[in-house]
Amino acid sequence: MTAPTGEVFDIMLDGKPVRVRAGANLGATLHTLMQGHLRDTASGQPRGLFCGMGVCFDCVVLIDGVPARACLTTVAPDMNVVRSAGRSS
The residues that touch ligand FES, with contacts defined as CB under 6 A, are 27, 49-52, 54-59, 69, 71
Query: Judging by beta carbons within 10 Å of its beta carbon (0-12, 13-18, 19+), is residue 44 exposed, middle or buried?
Result: exposed
Of 8 and 55, nearer to ligand FES (C-beta) is 55
Please list, in sequence order, all residues whose beta carbon lies within 8 angstroms of the beta carbon of residue 16, skipping any fewer than 6 positions away: none
Least separation in angstroms between CB 67 and ligand FES: 12
Least separation in angstroms between CB 43 and ligand FES: 19
Please list, in sequence order, all residues whose beta carbon lies within 8 angstroms of the beta carbon of residue 53, skipping any fewer than 6 positions away: 71, 72
Least separation in angstroms between CB 54 and ligand FES: 5
